[in-house]
Amino acid sequence: MTTHADPVPGGRPGEVERAGALAAELAGQGVHGVVLAYVDTAGITRVKTVPVARLPDAVAWGVGMSPVFDTFLSDDSVVTTDVLGSPDGDLRLYPDLDRLVALAAQPGWAWAPVDRITQDGERHPGCGRTVLRRITAHARQRHGITFKAAVEIEWVLGRGTAPRGVFEPAVSGPAYGAVRQVEVSDYGADLLAALAAQAVEVEQFHPEYAAGQFEVSVGALDPVAAADRSVLVRQTVRAVAQRHGLRVSFAPAVLAQGVGNGGHVHLSAWRDGSNLHAGGSGRYGMTAEAESFAAGLLARLPALTAVTAPSPAGYLRLRPSQWAGVFTAWGRETRECALRVVTGTLGVRERASNLEVKPVDLAANPYLTLGALIAAGLDGIATRAPLPEETTGDPARLDAATAAARGVRRLPVSLAEAVEAFRRDTLLRDALGPVLADAVTAVRRGEIAAADGLDDEQVAAAYRWRY
């Protein structure tokens, strides 16, 4: 469960006392510092830390940080919008105690995601976590719908001894191979132990397709908590790797060619405790609302890509036949359509049925991603959008007439194309709010300019160790 209210200066009722008790408990467990984390528009997790004894003060009054990070690029240079990117001003970071956890792979540290509010106690329009909370509250109040979400995490493990900038896969065994699992036996066990200690329910951990690649999938939570969890899992993957002398990359394309790192999103809509993706009279048990939710997503995927694949490197990953789902098509258990209908096996469908969105990578800010996906799907529900016919097999092989009849389009082939689609999409811009929407556009354009003139190898190299 996540707190569903914005922070208030002075602390919400009872929160400061609760922070005091938690701080004492953490100190008793040997925790010295608390990492306060948020994700910026470019998808970089930024942090401040406080000594554990300062936790009550942080809960009451926040911790200062400049709003300039809203328009930071992934290389730490800064762009500006009409309202963001100025060297002036300050914000307060408020930790969410409901998500506070001692970091098992970083002894001495605890971690909490933060909301950012102004010094005057107002919502900060650039805070993705606040925006996602607002979008989910709107869905609940206006449509009576709640969501469950999970982000799959893929990464590659490189040898820590490789020369700076170079990726040398830490394992040599084949995709999904037992050899690879044995090669990282201690690392994998330590990772599972750390995630379990942090109350992250892992569903699977496996060697993936690309060189040195692994994946972990985790249980679904409400969207804000799911986004928090995706940040925490990555912090943990990285920390365990560090202890084993390994280097981690979550970059969308670690190498210029071949399968990249995805961050597929699983999403399900619920009303009154019932899963809208199961037990309905639509295809594969979807209710009419679940079909329209999928249709709403499909219609906006080209514009959504500016949020879900925010880095030039993302477009090296988003290529046909790399399991990244680059066509606006859907199918049951498909590996190549952008939307995969997951029904689960007979017996668990009411609990497990969901929609998987594939063209998402881990450069994406998970709060903005979930907010934008939910806004698009809700618009599908509100307009009763009809879901086109299912696509089976590789959509790359569809003939032009069939593709046109089903509205199957290739997703943007570049970040520039995606950002143009986003700029024209009033619904998505309104969902994020004008300040954040402008930041998304400005930051994407900044990344495009920063990668201008680079060939594919150079783009992959430039972003390889940033995420």
In angstroms, give the least distance from the CB of 302 to Mg ion.
23
Choose one: 8-16, 209-217, 333-341, 410-418; the region binding Mg ion (CB under 5 A): 209-217
The 3-state secondary structure of 209-270, one letter per residue: CCCCEEEEEECCECHHHHHHHHHHHHHHHHHHHHHCCEEEECCCCCCCCCCCCCCCEEEEEE
Contacting Mg ion (CB under 5 A), which of 40, 96, 190, 215?
215
Residue 429: contacted member of Mg ion, ligand GLU, none (CB under 5 to 8 Å, by partner type)? none
The rounded distance, in Å, linking the Cα atoms of 338 and 357 is 6
Enumerate residues 249-268 that contact ligand GLU by CB under 6 A: 259-262
Q: Tell me the residue number closest to ligand GLU, measured at CB.
A: 262
In angstroms, give the least distance from the CB of 262 to Mg ion.
6
Beta strands in 197-321, from DSSP E residues, in sequence order? 202-207, 213-218, 246-249, 265-271, 274-275
Enumerate residues 194-213 that contact ligand GLU by CB under 6 A: 209
* Tokens found for residue 142: 């206006």
Q: Is 364 in the site for ligand GLU (CB under 6 A)?
A: no
Alpha-carbon dihedral 40, 46, 52, 56, rounded to 10 degrees: -20
Residue (335 or 384) nearer to ligand GLU, CB:
335
Enumerate residues 320-339 that contact ligand GLU by CB under 6 A: 323-324, 335
Q: Tell me the residue number closest to Mg ion, measured at CB.
A: 215
Residue listed under structure tokens 């102004």: 118
Residue (323 or 465) nearer to Mg ion, CB:
323
Q: Is 317 in the site for ligand GLU (CB under 6 A)?
A: yes
Size of the site for ligand GLU (CB under 6 A): 11
Residue 324: contacted member of Mg ion, ligand GLU, none (CB under 5 to 8 Å, by partner type)? ligand GLU
Residue (236 or 322) nearer to ligand GLU, CB:
322
Residue (262 or 312) nearer to ligand GLU, CB:
262
* Alpha-carbon separation of residue 79 from 85, 354, 442, 443, 446 (angstroms): 6, 38, 7, 7, 7
Cβ–Cβ < 8 Å for 86, 103: no
Residue 335: contacted member of ligand GLU, Mg ion, none (CB under 5 to 8 Å, by partner type)? ligand GLU
The rounded distance, in Å, linking the Cα atoms of 151 and 227 is 7
Cβ–Cβ < 8 Å for 343, 332: yes
Residue 259: contacted member of ligand GLU, Mg ion, none (CB under 5 to 8 Å, by partner type)? ligand GLU
The rounded distance, in Å, linking the Cα atoms of 392 and 118 is 49
Residue span 141-180 as binding mask against ligand GLU, x where in contact by CB under 6 A, dash where not: -------------x--------------------------
Mapping DSSP to helix (H, G, I), strand (E, B) and coil, where does residue 380 land? helix
Choose one: 193-201, 231-239, 307-315, 317-325; the region binding ligand GLU (CB under 6 A): 317-325
**DSSP symbols for 80-111:** --SSS--S---EEEEE-GGG-EE-TTSTTEEE
The rounded distance, in Å, linking the Cα atoms of 38 and 133 is 14
Binding site for ligand GLU (CB under 6 A): 154, 209, 259-262, 317, 323-324, 335, 358
Residues that bind Mg ion (CB under 5 A): 215
